[in-house]
Chains A and B, each alone.
Chain A
Amino acid sequence: MSTQVTTGLQVRKSVELTIDGKKVTAPEGSTLLDACRASGKEIPTLCFGDTITPKNACRVCMVELEGSRTLVPSCSRKVEAGMVVKTDTDRTSHSRKLVLELLGSSVDLSLTKNVSKWNENYDAKPSRFGAPSYHHSKRDEAVTGHHHPPDGQTAETVHQPVKIDNALYVRDYSKCILCYQCVDACGEQWQNTFAITTAGRGFDARISTEFAVDLTDSACVYCGNCIQVCPTGALMFTSEYEMREAGTWREEEQTQTDTICPYCGVGCSLTLHVQDNTIVKVTSPSDHSVTHGNLCIKGRFGFQHVQNTKPE
């Protein structure tokens, strides 16, 4: 059943499986998502990021696997020889539609890529759960195991005020889908700073510092690697936030220029996002072998000197 294929310098076994009735081969250790995408299937993902171990929390990428009682998350399920997978059935469509509706009705997805397209594809109508409620915005004070009973009219949301507690970036958790990527990037997967965690439980689960203290009192080192992995715009450069608030953020006019960070000898790649000849934010390519998208505070935020001009 299994043959050997050479990928780069490694010799990886490949396994054969069936996707939507067609036999395909995929390298051992790869995921169903890899295999599906390689064979041209379009599967939506929300919490999946290419530099973080999949948490499979959003459940929008579910596919049907023969022999499995439930659907399985394609982003994290590894391929196995002989698997029979279906990516487009009534059950997968229902599941994707409902996940889009559940998130769309509780979270501000206005900056999440592809959502409107997917809503259309899967006929998702988040509004059918009722008008959004913004009553319970003190989410940091939620008591575990207790909740406000529903009023029988509105749909509860994760709405809360934007957290602006430092000069470099803002946290708008009304946009947070709890993908856990920022926690993992801050913690053991990249930065090992552990400034943030998931606190609380259930619908009250939220990304938080200890006791929800300001970032300036937390262990945050402002590497901004959480912003890099955030898929929904909940974490954002202050520069971007202010321009969006002022209505001057025009992403379609921006250019992206790759360069090397000028600060130390590591040589991280920077991508400068420039609008009107001004750097508005800095990212790093997630497929870069040195950074994997990560930077430090200097590379991420220390760009003002480039455009300092003498006062007239």
Chain B
Amino acid sequence: MDLKIASGTANTEERAAVDSLLGAPSETSHGAQRDEMGMRVSTGGESLRQLRHLLLPTLHSVNDRVGYISRGAINYISQRLDIAPAEIYGVATFYALFDTNERPARQVHVCVDLACRAASGCTEETLPEGAIASPCLGTCERAPSVLVIETGVTVRQEVLAPATKSQIAELVAGKSAPTEQEISHAAPQTPDQSLVLLSRIGNTNPLSIDDYISSNGYSALRKAFTIGAEQVIAEVTASGLVGRGGAAFPTGRKWAAVASQPVKTRYLICNADESEPGTFKDRVLLEGDPFALVEAMTIAAFATGSQHGYIYLRGEYPRALKNLTNAIELARNKKYLGDNILDSGFNFDITIFRGAGAYICGEETAIFNSIEGFRGEPRNKPPFPVEVGLFGKPTVVNNVETLLNVLPIINNTGEKYASWGSTGSKGKKLFCVSGAVNKPGVYEVTFGVTLRELINLAGGLKSGSTMQAVLLGGAAGGFVGPEDLDLELTLEAARAAGTTLGSGVVMVLDQTVDMFDQLQRIAAFFRDESCGQCVPCRVGTVRQQEALARLVKSNGTDSAALDLQLLRDLGQVMRDASICGLGQTAHNAIDSALTRLKVFSA
């Protein structure tokens, strides 16, 4: 491509960061310090453009090392990957963890989302100086939460939760965070080997493949190879497993659809971009049982005939990244990944792909664009991912928890798995219980327990707390009130009650929580996270936030009625006409607060 590179040259650090990923440029390629002979020939072109999927990792590399993406860095990446600078700028400015303006090497991201602001009152406006407001960091069980990123030759990322205001100020001043607490703290039922999905948490060293193998690890993969791909899909179909990311699509049907495609190049993506406010179950699994995910992905790939897997991991999960990277490396060394796995003749490998601060990239088609090096905007459906997905090939996208359920299904048979749960919701489910309970954390239950039972399992309400509302399913879910405590936590009961289990969020809000503040935060969240592609979501989320801001002032007056009507109108157009699930659900929680909790009166 005929690149036009404006002023700005990458410095040594930036070049080193790019080269650490792409290798040094050849003498004749763009971006090399070319001598007179070198200038007479030029290599690259199409072969470089095939590397576009390295764009986001390259931006990460620069951001990790320098802290921001400068003009010089973009110019150098442009030459190395043969992508126009404008396009790289468009991609870099899509992600909240990147900045194209110079900034300090140390960034302190403080969660101002639902659970954290309920716990600490920390809002965008009351942050300690020098801290950056962040959407949910996925450590709600220890709210309030802080993520520190210190860029340099080796980037350092630390999580501190719970964090007091003075601790945040110390972090901003440069103090190191104490060692993060053990993973098992986030799952108060553990250690307990009778659990199905959490059995290894607190029992098995997540960094040791030998420990994993000796605790029933890789038994499911061996069995899968014995029974064959078709039978694996049959078992998963028989199990009644549905997606645990929020949409509840039958997993067996998705796998069968990919397995039956005429195109033989296929991909498997594990959606680990867990960003739904209040959700942290996938984080606990990724950190505490990473080998299980590797094994489950291998089975999914074997069943669907996929040759390569990606784990799209949200950028704010440093410990998950570390443990997963270790797990993949050890699995590769022990021949559980790579060519001819366990002498089965099956080849499969996994790449971890780091997100960079974009909730929308958890949308299955936005993941494709993000991995391919484009802005993470959702694609139009149809065509569906099972036909035209990543790099235009048939692709399975499964959530972390969904994949982990495959292991007990294969180990015990689908029939056995289907014997757990209710008529419409099979198996085990993880719930992320946070807020005003005594033991917040991830809880494994069989579908069918009631909300009351789950809250009791989490130690009941804190003393002095009276329940005001419970947020089910996250910001894209809905509020229920104290009168709904006997709600059975099944997909069908939630649907019948006009609510949703979504990603398994159960956030208990007591009388101290300002519901107006929570609603305004939900509106702000969707506004910040909208990709901006379609009008109903791009402008609708702003108008929704504005109408809420007016309502908070005018509650109870005549003008409130107008704004309530506006909100209903906005909700309908977002639900009916947005391209993807983000816009379609951006009004759900607010709608439930209006209709079920009646927080505003006209």
Q: Which A residues lie at the B interface, using CB under 8 A?
A: 55-60, 62, 70-71, 73, 76, 91, 94-95, 98-99, 102-103, 105-106, 128-130, 143-147, 149-156, 177-178, 187, 192-205, 208-211, 213, 217-219
Contact = CB atoms under 8 A, between A and B. Distances in A.
Contacts of B577: 59, 62, 70-71, 95, 98-99
Given A58-B535, A149-B124, A152-B546, A91 B576 contact: yes
Contacts of B93: 144, 199-201
Interface in B357-387: 357-358, 375, 380
A57 B543 contact: no
Contacts of A128: 562, 566
B542 interface: yes
A235 B98 CA distance: 30
Interface string B532-547: 1111101111110111
Given A99-B573, A219-B86, A156 B542 contact: yes
A11 B527 CA distance: 48
Contacts, number: 197
A219 to B, nearest CB: 4
12 contacts: A71-B576, A94-B569, A105-B543, A128-B566, A144-B357, A187-B87, A194-B1, A201-B93, A201-B358, A202-B532, A210-B6, A219-B84
Contacts of B90: 197-199, 208
B576 A144 contact: no
Q: Which of B87, B539, B579 has the most chain A CB atoms closer than 10 A to its own CB?
A: B539
Interface string B119-158: 0000011000000010100000000000000000000000
A98 B575 contact: no
A129 B566 contact: yes
A70 B579 CA distance: 9
Q: Determine the main DSSP class of A at the interface with B.
A: loop
A155 B94 contact: no
B196 to A, nearest CB: 32
Contacts of B197: none
Contacts of B541: 202-203
A295 B100 CA distance: 34
Nearest to A70: B576
Contacts of A205: 531-533, 538
Interface residues of B, number: 66
Interface stretch (B52-60, B346-354, B548-556): B548-556
A201 B531 contact: yes
Q: Determine the main DSSP class of B at the interface with A.
A: helix
B85 interface: yes
Contact of A146 (B71, B528, B570): B528
B529 interface: yes
Contacts of A210: 6, 71, 74, 84-86, 88-89
B335 interface: no
Given A144-B96, A217-B6, A98 B536 contact: yes
A91 B536 CA distance: 14
B546 A202 contact: no
B539 A102 contact: yes
Q: Which of A70, A156, A187, A217 has the most chain B CB atoms closer than 10 A to its own CB?
A: A70
Contacts of A219: 3-4, 84-86
Contacts of B98: 144
B530 interface: yes
Nearest to B375: A198
The 9 closest A-B pairs by CB, nearest first: A205-B532, A145-B96, A197-B90, A194-B84, A98-B573, A102-B539, A219-B4, A210-B89, A202-B530
